[in-house]
């Protein structure tokens, strides 16, 4: 049943990361059919399952009910509700996508050049492969605590209502989207050193979009960044990652002749500056 849910969600192009990552843990089970755009996420990352840094080692348990940390989470969640229907809400919905071919293009404005499967295939492939390791790192803690998400408490809408039911079955803490987004920002910053601040900031905002979407608490997002930092550091010890990173850096040199992101970048910058 769990594998069936995984297949159905991937076929829709999005899924709660905890359920999505059940696949490698059930590697001996026949995989369900999935949409071609999502199938690549069922392939392995750079690290063996045992080599991925574990969130149970690196981060504390989620904030306890009634604690000061929980009060901080609740305050941040309340502030996010005020953004519903704004450009920041719309951006958060776009940031929720990890599975379509255009998802890496989210970082085009921050990079100062168009990114994606066509203009930058090496960069795209490296980030997608690393995404598996970044997401796997949060999975042990998600599973242990199965923290309810903000919308399950406040009853307010989320920016991706089509996967509401799926999210209810996936632990909130820490955020896999935050780990992936921040990790992508860190890796891209190595390829585009002149744009490093913009790329890391965009990775941070990518994770905070989950708070804006009302699907993650602030502490979920923050601890996702901790896990991203640990995983990216660990990836640098892997020869395959270093080789792909070198290929990606070479690809960067040829991107200057490609078309840069359009005027939407000004709108994105204004949106993020207003939060």
Average confidence score pLDDT of the chain: 85
Residue 177 scores a pLDDT above 50? yes
Residue 167 scores a pLDDT above 60? yes
Per-residue pLDDT of 89-101, as tens digits, reads 999 999 999 988 8
pLDDT of residue 259: 61
pLDDT of residue 49: 79
Write down the residue that tokens 């509700």 correspond to. Answer: 81
pLDDT of residue 42: 43
User: Which residue segments constitute the domains of the chain, with CATH numbers given?
Assistant: 38-273 (1.20.144.10)
- Catalytically annotated residue among 147, 202, 210, 225: 210
**Neighbouring residues of 270: CB distance < 8 A, sequence distance ≥ 6:** 87
CB 49 within 8 Å of CB 24: yes
pLDDT of residue 2: 33
- Catalytically annotated residue among 95, 208, 220, 244: 220
What tokens does 74 get?
């609740």
Instruction: Decide if 220 is catalytic.
Output: yes
* % the chain with pLDDT above 90: 75
Instruction: Decide if 236 is catalytic.
Output: no
- Catalytically annotated residue among 128, 195, 202, 216: 216
Residue 41 scores a pLDDT above 70? no
What tokens does 117 get?
């499967």
Average pLDDT over residues 256-268: 74
Residue 15 scores a pLDDT above 70? no
Per-residue pLDDT of 134-159, as tens digits, reads 999 999 999 999 999 999 999 999 99
**Neighbouring residues of 96: CB distance < 8 A, sequence distance ≥ 6:** 14, 159, 160, 177, 209, 210, 213
Q: Indicate the Cα dihedral angle 37, 102, 232, 70, nearest 10°.
A: -90
Write down the pTM of the prediction. 0.86
Sign of CA dihedral 217, 219, 225, 227: negative
Report residue 256's pLDDT band, with 50, 70 and 90 as the boundaries.
Answer: confident
Cα–Cα distance for residue pair 163/11, rounded to 1 Å: 12
Residue 121 scores a pLDDT above 60? yes
Q: Choose the most confident range, by mean pLDDT, from 12-16, 58-62, 264-268.
A: 58-62
pLDDT of residue 257: 47
Cα–Cα distance for residue pair 268/260, rounded to 1 Å: 14
Q: Choose the most confident range, by mean pLDDT, from 16-20, 202-206, 271-275.
A: 202-206
- Catalytically annotated residue among 177, 195, 211, 225: 177
Cα–Cα distance for residue pair 171/145, rounded to 1 Å: 7
Residue 264 scores a pLDDT above 60? yes
Cα–Cα distance for residue pair 262/112, rounded to 1 Å: 10
């Amino acid at each position: 049943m769990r594998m069936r849910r995984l297949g159905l969600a991937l076929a829709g192009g999005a899924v709660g990361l905890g359920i999505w990552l059940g696949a490698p843990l059930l590697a001996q089970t026949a995989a369900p059919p999935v949409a071609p755009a999502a199938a690549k996420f069922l392939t392995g990352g750079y690290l063996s399952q045992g080599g991925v840094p574990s969130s149970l080692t690196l981060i504390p348990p989620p904030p306890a009910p009634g604690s000061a940390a929980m009060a901080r989470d609740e305050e941040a969640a309340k502030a996010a509700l005020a953004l519903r229907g704004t450009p920041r809400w719309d951006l958060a919905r776009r940031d929720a996508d990890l599975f379509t071919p255009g998802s890496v293009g989210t970082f085009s404005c921050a990079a100062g050049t168009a990114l994606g499967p066509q203009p930058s295939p090496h960069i795209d492939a490296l980030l997608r492969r690393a995404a598996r390791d970044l997401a796997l790192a949060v999975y042990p803690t998600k599973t242990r605590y199965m923290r309810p998400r903000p919308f399950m408490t406040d009853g307010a809408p989320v920016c991706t209502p089509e996967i509401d039911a799926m999210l209810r079955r996936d632990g909130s803490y820490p955020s896999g989207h935050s780990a992936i987004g921040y990790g992508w920002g860190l890796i891209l910053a190595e390829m585009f050193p002149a744009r490093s601040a913009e790329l890391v900031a965009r990775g941070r905002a990518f994770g905070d979009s989950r708070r804006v979407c009302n699907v993650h608490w602030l502490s979920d997002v923050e601890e996702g960044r901790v896990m991203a930092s640990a995983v990216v550091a660990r990836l640098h010890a892997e020869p395959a990652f270093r080789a792909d990173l070198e290929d990606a850096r070479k690809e960067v040199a040829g991107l200057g002749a490609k078309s840069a992101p359009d005027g939407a970048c000004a709108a994105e910058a204004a949106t993020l500056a207003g939060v």
